[in-house]
Amino acid sequence: MGSSGQGTRNLRFGLTRLKTRHYICLLAAAALLSPGGEAQKQKAPEGYTLVWSDEFNGKDGSLPDPSKWTYDIGGSGWGNHELEYYTNRADNARIDDGKLVITARQEPYTGPDGGKFNYTSARLKTEGLFSQAYGRFESRIKLPAGQGIWPAFWMLGDNIGSAGWPKCGEIDIMENVGKEPGINHGSLHAPSSTSPTSDQTATITLPAGQKLSDDFHVYTVEWDPGTVRFFLDSNLYATFAAAQWPGGGTWVFDHRFFLILNVAVGGDWPGSPDTATVFPQKDAGGLRSRVQAQDLAWA
């Protein structure tokens, strides 16, 4: 799971179920500390039907559409010793110039229980509003950059409330940590009888020292019964199948999942920010973290 983002513009979803292929697409997402960019609308891939979308066409400064998005709120560390407190404020997630903007800030913040935090951010999800089993899930994202920054576009099983994690299953479509500026991680996480979790993970690295924060890239999974395929910019880099699942593990990717976009700060994997990590400022001249999604289709 990761949590830094910059701007999401359009979201669409599509699914593959029996003979109907549904498509969900988040085409453009710009990440924390990256300048915003315009995303190009794309048609649903051949053979898929668009079933869900968010064009982020609200007024500048408005909150994300509450009929499509809700929030995780709090600063519990989220199982990873993360440093941020997630809020539902426009300061951390808002519509800006036709994009969903998630802003991770370095600022003193006191939670309702009196807990003190040095960072705030946002974690948006479609839990209780939209979920789907199978299909094509796609997002066009420009990632943030910096030590300790951890953006992610991912999914959790909608039975998490009853089954808990990891029995609900987790699909990480885009996950990046600032210390690996050119590497995307695609992963599946599930329960195991022999270890804390059963997992399959693959990475893809941009060529010639390019950074994922330099430009927009399209992050995609195609999820069919028994198989999940991972793509970066239409390049297939991993295929995970139930038939090859690790011994002792249980394949749980056979029910509805909901979507999550977030930007985390710190944690066991990325480590803490350092003095070189740039954060947005409160004044108008400061950089802002954006996740820009255009034509996001999910299924």
Q: Label residue 76 by pLDDT band (50, 70, 90).
A: very high
**pLDDT at residue 142, as a whole number:** 82
Whole-prediction pTM: 0.86
* Mean pLDDT taken over the chain: 83
Residue range 148-174: average pLDDT? 97
Contact 263, 289 (CB under 8 A): yes
The two structure tokens encoding residue 123: 């974690």
> What tens digit of pLDDT does each residue of 252-274 get?
999 999 999 999 999 999 999 99
175 an active-site residue?
yes
Catalytic residue among 82, 84, 138, 175, which?
Answer: 175
Buried-exposed string 97-131: b where 16+ CB fall within 10 A, e elsewhere: ebbbbbbbbbeebeeeeeeebbbbbbbbbbbeebb
Measure the CA–CA gap between 50 and 27, rounded to whole angstroms: 13
> What tens digit of pLDDT does each residue of 43-56 get?
667 788 888 877 77
**pLDDT at residue 150, as a whole number:** 95
Catalytic residue among 82, 84, 138, 170, which?
Answer: 170
Task: Please report the sign of the dihedral spanned by the C-alpha atoms of residue 223, residue 98, residue 122, residue 30.
Answer: positive
Q: Label residue 39 by pLDDT band (50, 70, 90).
A: very low
The answer to which of 82-96, 140-154, 196-210 has the lowest mean pLDDT is 140-154
The two structure tokens encoding residue 74: 């709090």
Phi–psi pair at 107, nearest 5 degrees:
-160, 150
